[in-house]
């Protein structure tokens, strides 16, 4: 069973994509807003009926409905508004994670938990500490979307399908993320060999500012991109595909870092994160990665 905590735009979009991909026979939505999760579940159930997809979709304000879930997606939290950074959400969203974590631990103690709440790495760190689960089962969603955005912008510059690009973005999901064009490739050829320096700088800037651009244009943060990324992660777990994705995980010595969550490549399968991949960073990339990690650490300090 897949449970989604938070029946807002990201949560409901993820539920819809999960239904369309046939990821589970039962999907549960939970939200504290009276009637919201039940209404969205009913609407989604009608959509499934129209499409002839047999799936049980339920909604509730009662967290006990997630009992026995093997995957829990946490999309709850205050969204970013225009002109607002993800980091400004720390205090408000930390209180939401503090409230949700004990309920997941009580009703779904064997689940793999994936978090989208911003600031992503900080909320993943807090969830990991509050749950007490193995780090392999507490994962922050971010890198799948960040790297896909890099692929999208590179594809437009090179006039090539973005599915042909293997993109790499690490560090954190925020203004201090680190796009790595040198390690992002097309048929093994680095983007730095295919684009001039000014285009590479433009590519990095567009990738970093993508979320803010969407928020400015729409008036609220993105939903379809995060939902697509979450669905891809759930699919990798469900199929035990050992898929290489970029996600935010608790580091225990990787990249020389301890007691912090960072966005890095991982192998994802049925048990969650099976392996953290350490990239061959050059001196400048390593310096920028550490700067990104330090940004996360500074935000973590705001939790205490």
Q: How far apart, in whole angstroms, are the C-alpha atoms of residue 75 and residue 253? A: 28
List the beta bridge partners of residue 298: none
Q: How far apart, in whole angstroms, are the C-alpha atoms of residue 126 and residue 36? A: 26
- Catalytic residue check, 46: no
- Helix 224-238 with 9-20: angle, nearest 10 deg: 50
Q: How far apart, in whole angstroms, are the C-alpha atoms of residue 101 and residue 132? A: 10
List the beta bridge partners of residue 243: 268
Q: How far apart, in whole angstroms, are the C-alpha atoms of residue 192 and residue 172? A: 22
Q: Which tokens belong to 125?
A: 């760190």
Q: How far apart, in whole angstroms, are the C-alpha atoms of residue 113 and residue 135? A: 10
State the DSSP code for 127.
H
9, 80, 149, 173: the active-site residue:
173
Q: How far apart, in whole angstroms, are the C-alpha atoms of residue 64 and residue 42? A: 19
- Measured in degrees and rounded to the nearest 5, phi and psi for residue 75 equal -110, 5
Q: How far apart, in whole angstroms, are the C-alpha atoms of residue 128 and residue 139? A: 8
The neighbour count for residue 217, using CB atoms within 10 Å, is: 10
C-alpha separations of 117 from 126, 166, 205, 218, 241 in Å: 11, 26, 23, 19, 25
Active centre residues (catalytic)? 173
């Amino acid at each position: 069973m897949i449970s989604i905590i938070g029946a807002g735009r990201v949560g409901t979009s993820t539920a819809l994509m999960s239904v369309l991909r046939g990821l589970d026979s039962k999907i549960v939505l939970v939200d504290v807003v009276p009637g919201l999760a039940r209404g969205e579940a009913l609407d989604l159930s009608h959509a499934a009926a129209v499409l002839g997809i047999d799936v049980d979709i339920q909604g509730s304000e009662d967290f006990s409905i997630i009992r026995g879930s093997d995957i829990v997606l946490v999309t709850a939290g205050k969204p970013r508004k225009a002109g607002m950074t993800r980091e400004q959400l720390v205090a408000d969203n930390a209180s939401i994670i503090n409230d949700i974590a004990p309920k997941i631990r009580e009703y779904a103690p064997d689940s793999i938990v994936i978090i989208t709440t911003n600031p992503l790495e900080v909320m993943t760190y807090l969830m990991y500490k509050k749950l007490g689960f193995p780090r392999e089962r507490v994962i922050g969603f971010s890198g799948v979307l960040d790297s896909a955005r890099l692929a999208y912008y590179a594809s437009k510059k090179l006039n090539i399908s973005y599915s042909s690009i293997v993109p790499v973005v690490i560090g954190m999901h925020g203004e201090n993320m680190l796009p790595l064009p040198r390690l992002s490739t097309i048929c093994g050829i680095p983007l730095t060999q295919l684009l001039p320096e000014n285009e590479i700088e433009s590519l990095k800037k567009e990738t970093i500012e993508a979320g803010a651009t969407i928020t400015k244009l729409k008036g609220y943060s993105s939903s379809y991109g995060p939902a697509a990324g979450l669905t891809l992660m759930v699919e990798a777990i469900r199929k035990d595909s050992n898929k290489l994705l970029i996600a935010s995980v608790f580091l225990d010595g990787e990249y020389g870092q301890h007691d912090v969550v960072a966005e890095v490549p991982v192998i994802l399968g049925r048990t969650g994160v099976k392996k953290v991949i350490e990239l061959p960073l050059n001196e400048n990339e390593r310096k920028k990665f550490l700067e990104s990690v330090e940004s996360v650490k500074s935000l973590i300090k705001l939790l205490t």
